[in-house]
Structure 1
Amino acid sequence: MTRTAQDLLDAVAARLAPDPAANPLVPRFADGTAHRSAITALALEQRSVIPADRRSFLHLAERSAAAGESECAAVFRTLAEGETLAFERLGALVAACGVDKADADAYEPRAGCQAYPAYVAWLALNGTPVDVVLALTANFAAWGACCATLAQALPAHYGFSDEACAFFAFFAEPAPDLEQQALAAVRAGMDRGLDATGTALRHGKLLQRYEAMFWETLADPARDL
């Protein structure tokens, strides 16, 4: 039986799907038991994560285009545009946490939270574009699920407005255009004879582990000292 691009995307996503119960913080947001300070830390960490990821995606788009992989380039350009839109929504969340610009600028990011964008930057320099597309597509599904939970929990348990939660709602929304672009990129890669599932899985496992570190560090800031 011939494997299709959709089969490959589904297989990688299934292999990399995390156990939601293993997240040390998101379930506590869901039931309202997480401390409000964790929301503030999350928002401030994202002020560093989002711009870093955007630059990484732009570099991946440039690399892909230079290599003649236009389908991958389209995925990364869309991702970069998404980071721009997300950052525009982040300010309302930071403000709702009661943090002014001076305090936000003075915030010291935590290594455990910044390991994820550091690895995305590594992928931007070293990863084969189609492998990165596969790994990121699987990872974003997990991130989107976490954001969907927060988009519902913060208004219900912490009194945040819809505007303040727009950052999470943005990532929680389905992205059919991006999904189709990712499918086209994987299909084009397979047409070129590329079937690096193992490499994509290695990238994806590290991305998932670094994202887990993000939540673990927010749940227990002392672990990052």
Structure 2
Amino acid sequence: MEAALFYAASVVDRVIADLPIWIASVAAVVTSVIAAYQLSRISEANVNATKVARASLILEIDAMFEGGDVLESRKVIRTLRNKCVFVARAQIDEEVNQGRVYDSQGRKSAEYALSCEIFSQQLDYLLGRYVSVNKRIDPASSRMANDDKSVEADIYSRYMRLPYWLETVAMLTSQGLLPQNEVFELYDELYAGIMPYFLKHIENRRVEGARQNPNFLIFATNMIEPAKQWRQQKRESRLAVKGAR
């Protein structure tokens, strides 16, 4: 079909010069229609190819999310977060017992902020242990000392694999390779609910120590507020639909 259209267009171009003006005008319109059709087919093919590539990328990213390293990271993060929430609640209970007054929302916010702070403190501690072991190791030291370094690094990296993965997804989103709405449909809880627990530790790494990096996990942290807003809008939409029934 496309070959025939190309041929027709070329024939029209050859005969236009020999035709009366009104016929030439009609022929020019026909040529434009044929060209527009060809461009629409090309655009449609490009759109379809983009959709396929994007779907493949999402499937690959989701496979990484469900894979060994990131899955293990999610497990240890969940365990540590639950412990931090428990400790935070106990500390707030102690404050209440000593006479501090919270309303319901105020207490919830205080527990959340404190649990995030404790979580980041634990990561600071784990990174500090790794750095400390690394400084103590002499290049000529025993294999056992190097094993200690490897163990400390692995403990810390287990917690950081999920944020590193989120950084990759956020970077792809910022470059337009992944639609933000689709990313939030799949992973809004990670950006809005999990990344805030890492935020203080990330800020510390940006400005402190030998490993300071002002752009450390910058794409992932930039997704926190948009993810929260997206969740809020989705929640409001559900409530509006529910109220209309």
Q: TM-score, normalised by structure 1?
A: 0.28
Considering Cα pairs closer than 8 Å and 6+ residues apart, tell me whether 1 or 2 has the greater RCO. 1
**Whose helix proportion is higher, 1 or 2?**
2
TM-score by length of 2: 0.27
